[in-house]
Chains A and B, each alone.
Chain A
Amino acid sequence: SYVLTQPPSVSVAPGQTARITCGGNNIGDKSVHWYQQKPGQAPVLVVFDDSDRPSGIPERFSGSNSGNTATLTISRVEAGDEADYYCQVWDSSSEHVFGTGTKVTVL
């Protein structure tokens, strides 16, 4: 089965840049989607197809994907960005796979 590995936590000061990685075998060959989930709420799509943003998502959220690592970058971090973030891909053997999740803490 296909596995996506994320760091359990990332801490960042307000105004700085947070980078959240998602590791998977040749993930660069796949389309990666990213979701933000705040406590007690449903996930919200913030980046899809590696680097596209849905309407309404700030430009501060961006994505990249190459080799064995995909990255979600949050620029000029705000207190409201504090949440859990999950990556997700489609794999031919495992179908839809979610990452292990990363808790972003704004210091």
Chain B
Amino acid sequence: QITLKESGPTLVKPTQTLTLTCTFSGFSLSTSGVGVGWIRQPPGKALEWLALIYWDDDKRYSPSLKSRLTITKDTSKNQVVLTMTNMDPVDTATYYCAHRQEEGSGWPFDYWGQGTLVTVSS
């Protein structure tokens, strides 16, 4: 049974750096093809993909946010960490992590965490 859970601060100040952790179970990030991604959703708005890391440490970023994002993994702890620098109120959103079984285009985000709401405000 695959599960994922996001953790991190609920409130950050503008210009600060956000660090979110995704802790998962039921799969290993050392298994060929597997990836974990981050997706966010501002209140009342659509989903937006942010970043994804694969079993072989291949990292992919949203072109529009690439300069602000860093994704890393700790395979021994079953964790993936996302950092986002220079936070702004427009970054207020629910942040989800999600599992991807393979790297090919035909593979979806098949398991999602419950999400964590991050508010950016002074």
Q: Which residues of A contact B (CB under 8 A)?
A: 1, 30-31, 33, 35, 37, 42-45, 48-49, 54, 86, 88-90, 93-101
Contacts and interface: CB of A to CB of B under 8 A. Distances in A.
B62 A54 contact: no
Given A95-B49, A96-B52, A43 B106 contact: no
Nearest 8 pairs of A and B residues by beta carbon = A33-B108, A96-B49, A90-B105, A31-B106, A98-B47, A48-B108, A42-B112, A49-B106
Interface of B: 37, 39, 46-49, 52, 60-64, 96, 105-110, 112-115
Contact of A31 (B39, B46, B105, B109): B105
A93 to B, nearest CB: 8
A100 B46 contact: yes
A89 B105 CA distance: 7
A94 B47 CA distance: 14
